[in-house]
Structure 1
């Protein structure tokens, strides 16, 4: 099989394509022939930072590090204890998060409790793009924020991977959703169904809107998240994607008298099944904006690392 090995933390030049032995499924494992791989900001963060690599693996870093957590493909083989899947099934999932999913490869091993069947109405590219971003958004909007019908919800970076799912999940729950982005992405954000679009380059977002009940802040900045506390009603909720910011945010949350929750996404077939039902019904759509070949994976990471990607970036393996 082909795979990308992280030789050391740092730039994309440290990710090398190599030829490895084929894998074999045993026990509760499912062997997947890869069709599509979602590329996420977490991939870049772990590639760049030995701190992030240590954190995500709990300090148990294998000698051979293969990045990637999103995968969609066809089941090639199952272990003797697997009952949910069989060879030929089309599946997708977020693999071993936290940990190493090792999905930057043409073959991937997963346990059956990390996978779901791909709906017939979505392509492999869409399925591969979905797991990490959608599960992060689900665990932010549904699990942590517990968004309710009629609440005002602000989603920052609504044009991004997590943001575009967060908008759709909040709308599906009956919320009034405000999405922030730059003006060039206004049409994209409005296509998601937002009730209001807010151009953050026009003026500070806190000067452009009234109070909201919930903020989903996807921006990797303590200062930005602190600014979000200023627009939330007393007793409201703030969800951010960097749990390690908790200590730095504690006083701001106390001053604003709101609840704050950090989300570190985790693999969950249970959550992914809920998301899959929305995809199958057409109530939620995965917006794939760029695709790359397996040999172009470095270019795909560069697009994500730029911070200017809209929707989802996907690598197709064939």
Structure 2
């Protein structure tokens, strides 16, 4: 099989395409022939930083590091303890998070308990791009945000991978959703179903809205998160995607009487199953805006690394 190994932490040039033996499978695993891979910001963070690689692997960094967690593909082999899937099934999932999912490969061994059948109306590319971002959004909106009908919800970076899923899930929950973005992404964000759009480049968002029940902040900036706290009503909730920011914002959260929660996504068939249902029923539509070939995988990472990609970036594997 072909795979990308991380030679050292650093830039995209550290991703080296090599030929390896297909992975063997354990009794509880399936072997997936990869059809699509989702590229996520954590992929870039782990590539760049040995500290983050160590954190995600809980200090157990293998000699051969294969990145990637999102996958969609076809079951080629099934372990003897696997009852849920058979050869030929089309599946998708978030593999081994936390840990190394090793999905930057043309074949992937995956724990069957982390997979779902791909929704029939979803092509492989969209399916491969969905799990991590959609499951992060679910945790932000449902598990931690506890968003309910009628809540006023502000979603920052609403055109991004997590943001565009968060908007759709919050709307499904019955919230009044306000999305922030730049003017060039207004049409994309409004098409997601937001009730209001805020162009943060026109003037600071905190001058354009107040008294939020929940804010979901996907921006990698302590300063930005502190500004988010200022627009939340007492007793409201802040959900942020950088859990290591907790100590830097704790004092401001307490002063504002706001509950703050950092998201760390994890592999979960239960959550992916709920997302699959919303996709099948048409409430959530993954938006893939850039598709790269397997040979172009480093360039796909570069596209995500700009921080300017709308929707999701995916790699299609023949």
User: Same fold, TM exceeding 0.5?
Assistant: yes
Name the Cα RMSD after superposition.
Answer: 0.6
Partner of 2:162: 162
Rounded to whole Å, the distance in 2 between the matches of 1:232 and 1:284 is 26
Rounded to whole Å, the distance in 1 between the matches of 2:56 and 2:18 is 23
Rounded to whole Å, the distance in 1 between the matches of 2:155 and 2:26 is 42
Partner of 2:21: 21
Rounded to whole Å, the distance in 1 between the matches of 2:26 and 2:40 is 29
Shift of 1:23: 1.9
Rounded to whole Å, the distance in 2 between the matches of 1:82 and 1:24 is 15
Rounded to whole Å, the distance in 1 between the matches of 2:308 and 2:89 is 35
Partner of 2:123: 123
After superposition, the C-alpha distances for 1:205-238 in whole angstroms (9 at most, x for unaligned) are: 1001121100000001111111100000100000
What secondary structure, in the 3-state scheme, does the structure 1 residue paired with 2:248 have?
Answer: helix
Rounded to whole Å, the distance in 2 between the matches of 1:252 and 1:132 is 29
Rounded to whole Å, the distance in 1 between the matches of 2:37 and 2:4 is 12
Rounded to whole Å, the distance in 2 between the matches of 1:10 and 1:26 is 32
Shift of 1:283: 1.0
5+ unaligned residues in a row in structure 1: which ranges?
none
Contact 1:24 / 1:77 at 8 angstroms: preserved in 2? no
Partner of 1:172: 172
Partner of 2:242: 242
Rounded to whole Å, the distance in 2 between the matches of 1:298 and 1:26 is 30
Partner of 2:84: 84
What secondary structure, in the 3-state scheme, does the structure 1 residue paired with 2:13 have?
Answer: helix
Rounded to whole Å, the distance in 2 between the matches of 1:45 and 1:295 is 21
After superposition, the C-alpha distances for 1:53-107 in whole angstroms (9 at most, x for unaligned) are: 0110100000000000000000000111111111100000000001000000000
What secondary structure, in the 3-state scheme, does the structure 1 residue paired with 2:121 have?
Answer: coil
Instruction: Count the aligned residue pairs.
Output: 318
Rounded to whole Å, the distance in 2 between the matches of 1:120 and 1:166 is 22
5+ unaligned residues in a row in structure 2: which ranges?
none
Partner of 1:99: 99
What secondary structure, in the 3-state scheme, does the structure 2 residue paired with 1:215 have?
Answer: strand
Rounded to whole Å, the distance in 1 between the matches of 2:109 and 2:133 is 20
What secondary structure, in the 3-state scheme, does the structure 1 residue paired with 2:24 have?
Answer: coil
